[in-house]
Homo-oligomer: A and B are copies of this chain.
Amino acid sequence: MTAFTQFPASAISRLNVAIFIFDDVEVLDFAGPFEVFSRTRLNGGVASRLNDETAPFRVFTVAEHVVNITATGGLQVVPQFDFATAPHIDLLVVPGGFGTRRLLEHAPVLEWITTVAAGAPLVTSVCTGALLLARTGLLRGKRATTHWGALDTLASLDDTILVDRERRVVGEGPVTSAGVSAGIDMALSVVEALHGKAVADETAHYIEFRRAP
């Protein structure tokens, strides 16, 4: 993946990254990208992580309503914003989990994703978050992937999608990823596209993550 032409150079000072959360969201699906985007620094090392001075992203969680979210396994998370109060979103992360199934028929979420995508330079998904993007038509005619257990479902939602059953990170906009931990690779690939391989690799080193080749 090369640099995204969607972002004007001046906008790359600090991007607003919204992590969408909902009941029965898979924990690592949202926590992986949250970790990567919130811990990336343009200056490497441990000390730079003590503050936000060289942080290229401002990361926050968004849910339909600001009520406690119960993620898979029972983890309780409090969203920072609801759909009405979220700041402008430059980069949207749509994670997966069993909770996506009921959202496929939930108009307020589908409409919000559509609206955000219309104004956001970059939309991404982890795991079965791709099903929600497919439902909104955002993957029409595009390459995409999802969790291995949902590849057929993804194809069935929109038969114009070019489903990639091999790679962990697929597409340049939306950028989709395979299941759960592949969201970490996805986030690092976005960091690399925006800020270069050195910054992405240093972030991977900070979180001691072995990037997929």
Q: Is the CB of B98 within 8 A of A74?
A: no
- Shortest CB-to-CB span from A68 to chain B, Å, is 6
Is A50 on the interface with B (CB-CB < 8 A)?
yes
In this assembly, does A157 line the interface, its C-beta being within 8 Å of a C-beta of chain B? no
Q: How far is the CA of A38 from the CA of B71 in the complex (A)?
A: 11
A170: interface (CB < 8 Å):
no
Contact assessment for B59 and A178 in the assembled complex, using a CB-CB cutoff below 8 Å = no
A180 at the interface (CB under 8 A from B): yes
A68 to B45, CA, bound (A): 29
Quickly give the copy total for this chain.
2
**Contact B184–A206 (Cβ < 8 Å):** no
Q: Inside 8 A of A60's CB, which chain B residues have their CB?
A: 74
CB of A3 within 8 Å of the partner chain: no
Residues of B within 8 A of A68 (CB): 78
A window 122-174: CB within 8 A of B: 147-149, 168
A124 CB to nearest chain B CB (Å): 16
Docked Cα-Cα span, A34 to B210, in Å, equals 20
Asked if A192 is an interface residue, CB under 8 A from chain B, the answer is no
Complex contact B80–A78 (CB within 8 A): no
Give 23 CB contacts A-B under 8 Å. A26-B35, A27-B34, A27-B35, A28-B32, A28-B35, A28-B207, A31-B75, A39-B72, A39-B73, A50-B98, A59-B73, A59-B74, A61-B76, A74-B80, A76-B78, A77-B77, A148-B208, A179-B206, A179-B208, A181-B208, A181-B209, A210-B210, A210-B212
* Chain A residues within 8 Å of B, Cβ to Cβ: 26-28, 31-32, 34-35, 38-39, 45-46, 49-50, 59-61, 68, 72-80, 98, 147-149, 168, 178-182, 184, 206-210, 212
Report, nearest first, the 8 A-B pairs whose CB atoms are least far apart. Answer: A38-B73, A31-B31, A76-B78, A180-B207, A179-B208, A28-B35, A46-B149, A181-B209
